[in-house]
Amino acid sequence: MRQITSDMALYCPACQRLYDPRDRLFGCPGADTGAHILTKQWADTFDRQKAETSIRRNWVDGVTDSFALFHHLSATSHMLGAGRYLQLLNTLQDRLRSSEGIPFQVTPLVQTPALAGAAGLKRGLWVKDETGNITGSHKGRHLMGSLLYLEGLRALNQKTARQVLAIYSCGNAALAASAVARAGGYELHAFVPDTVEKTVAQMLTDRGAVVEMIPRGASDGGDPCYLAFRRAIEEKKWVPFSCSGNDNWSNIDGGETLGAEMAMQLRADGAEVSCLVIQVGGGALARAISQAWAALERLEISPHLPRIYVCQAAGSYPFVRAYYLALAAIARYNTLDFNWDYERSGTPAAELERMRCFAEASPHQITALADFTCRHFEKDAVQSPLKEILRHSEQFMWPWDGPLPAGLAHGILDDLTYDWYYLLRSILKSGGQAVIVEEEKFQTAHRLAHEHTKINVSPTGCAGLAGLLKLIDTGTIAPTENVGLFFTGIGR
């Protein structure tokens, strides 16, 4: 292995080794069992002072291009050098301005007293509004991170030919990918379910994407679109241009701009939130937000990481299951009370139902254990079980094997939470939780969002609000807390 000279390397916790981003890596090349998911790691040479000063100054100077504002947090910027990175960024932003009408820029953070009151909060509720972003969701930022990485690699390798890109998605991610790929001059194949909305399919075609319709019944286990996407990556050697961090770490690099923006906006308002509630499907959104916040905390720019709460729908909740399995492992290791564990001899549907009943019946026991993991996160009491989780990841995260997923917030009904491992760590460290939200709460959340804000948000886009309603109901979040949410997708 050549020496890694960048200030930011890629680290795989399963391989326990560093990789060089210049080696054109999207997923970890390690093939044995365990959670092989690349994440950025700052080298000793990473100049924290310079990064901190630059971010603060850019913010005060009113820089609105988030990718320029936070370029010190980007692995691609360190790989390429800031000068070349910013030049490349400007070129791509200009192309987006002409093709999509807008470049990527800081999106609004709105304080919503009426919605706070309707949700049962007595203090502040802040909503980050992504519905006006390119193609109407946060997904474009993630993929802009990937486009910058791809173009950064080309710049380092004498402008080698552009490769074919692939994405799997049920809508917004494919749409965002098509806009970003077009700006970069790349051919994109979008693997989408054959039930995809006609308007979305048309928007994909308009942007030059090749639409690959995949029937739902096309696999025995796991998302057929995802499996078709994986086959194309392996057999045709296409680039995984996806919002799943296990396949493509660089999408998290782009997604981090969202969390970083919110932290800076709150700081500018002189406000603080004690918790964030984030909707989880594939997990990239919540992972990217938590990581960005943690990075700004390390630079001493933003105050400590708020408690990270995530929610999934009762129709599909593989991440909540992984979270409960992790709590059970921590409880076992520390001989603490936790009256649930997964019975591998049982049927999946029965085990999922038993877990749901436990979650409803025992919020206090769950909160007590969440508090314990937060207090002892850096100690052996939590780190030792986490190492076991990493080694035996397949016993914690596996494709959804309950009833066929259905629900109003259909954009978060992923079969698998691809970005589960780092997200799990962030939640355990912060003292937040993962919760299952029943269907009627998504309907209420969507109604309240439209009644009390001017944001045209989709049911999936405001699914975090449904999680907040649930967490207030169970007394897990107190009415006196300040909360942050993300409205991530436009209503169509």
CB of 30 to Zn ion, least distance (A): 3
Closer to Zn ion by CB, 14 or 86: give it.
14
CB of 325 to Zn ion, least distance (A): 21
Binding segment for Zn ion (CB under 5 A), chosen from 20-28, 112-120, 225-233, 248-256, is 20-28
CB of 82 to Zn ion, least distance (A): 29
CB of 248 to Zn ion, least distance (A): 14
- Chosen residue from 4, 15, 213, 374 binding Zn ion by CB under 5 A: 15
18 binds Zn ion (CB under 5 A): no
Closer to Zn ion by CB, 30 or 363: give it.
30
The CA R_g of the chain, rounded to the nearest whole Å, is 21
Binding segment for Zn ion (CB under 5 A), chosen from 25-33, 172-180, 394-402, 450-458, is 25-33
Kindly report the CA angle at 224 between 218 and 229, in degrees rounded to 5? Answer: 125
CB of 13 to Zn ion, least distance (A): 8
Identify residues 243-262 at the interface with Zn ion (CB under 5 A): none
Closer to Zn ion by CB, 148 or 389: give it.
389
Closer to Zn ion by CB, 234 or 440: give it.
234
CA atoms within 13 A on the CB side of 469: 22
- Chosen residue from 14, 63, 82, 164 binding Zn ion by CB under 5 A: 14
Closer to Zn ion by CB, 36 or 40: give it.
36
CB of 323 to Zn ion, least distance (A): 22
CA 302 – CA 262 distance, rounded (Å): 10
Closer to Zn ion by CB, 35 or 209: give it.
35
Tokens 């564990």 belong to which residue? 341
Closer to Zn ion by CB, 39 or 172: give it.
39
CB of 11 to Zn ion, least distance (A): 9
User: 3-state secondary structure string, the chain?
Assistant: CCCCCCCEEEEECCCCEEECHHHCCCCCCCCCCCCCCCEEEECCCCCHHHHHHHHHHHHHCCCCCHHHHCHHHCHHHHHHCHHHHHHHHHHHHHHHHHHHCCCCCCCCEEECHHHHHHHCCCCCEEEEECCCCHHHECHHHHHHHHHHHHHHHHHHCCCCCCCCEEEECCCHHHHHHHHHHHHHCCCEEEEEECCCCHHHHHHHHHCCCEEEEECHHHCCCCCHHHHHHHHHHHHHCCEECCCCCCCCCHHHHHHHHHHHHHHHHHHHHCCCCCEEEEECCCCHHHHHHHHHHHHHHHCCCCCCCCEEEEEEECCECHHHHHHHHHHHHHHHHCCCCCCCCCCCCCCHHHHHHHHHHHHHHCHHHHHHHHHHHHHCCCCHHHHHHHHHHHHCHHHCCCCCCCCCCCCCCHHHCCCCCCCHHHHHHHHHHHCCCEEEECHHHHHHHHHHHHHHCCCCECCCCCHHHHHHHHHHHCCCCCCCCCEEEEECEECC
12 binds Zn ion (CB under 5 A): yes
Binding segment for Zn ion (CB under 5 A), chosen from 11-19, 287-295, 346-354, 391-399, is 11-19
Quick check: 192 and 201 in contact, CB under 8 A? yes
Closer to Zn ion by CB, 37 or 204: give it.
37
Binding segment for Zn ion (CB under 5 A), chosen from 9-17, 261-269, 327-335, 399-407, is 9-17
Identify residues 27-46 at the interface with Zn ion (CB under 5 A): 28, 30, 36
CB of 243 to Zn ion, least distance (A): 20
Closer to Zn ion by CB, 259 or 283: give it.
283
Binding segment for Zn ion (CB under 5 A), chosen from 7-15, 134-142, 243-251, 299-307, is 7-15
Closer to Zn ion by CB, 393 or 458: give it.
393
Binding segment for Zn ion (CB under 5 A), chosen from 21-29, 148-156, 269-277, 348-356, is 21-29
CB of 15 to Zn ion, least distance (A): 3
Closer to Zn ion by CB, 37 or 434: give it.
37
182 binds Zn ion (CB under 5 A): no
CA 48 – CA 331 distance, rounded (Å): 37
Binding segment for Zn ion (CB under 5 A), chosen from 22-30, 105-113, 258-266, 317-325, is 22-30
> By CB under 5 A, how many residues form the interface with Zn ion?
6
Q: Name the residues that contact Zn ion, by CB under 5 A.
A: 12, 14-15, 28, 30, 36
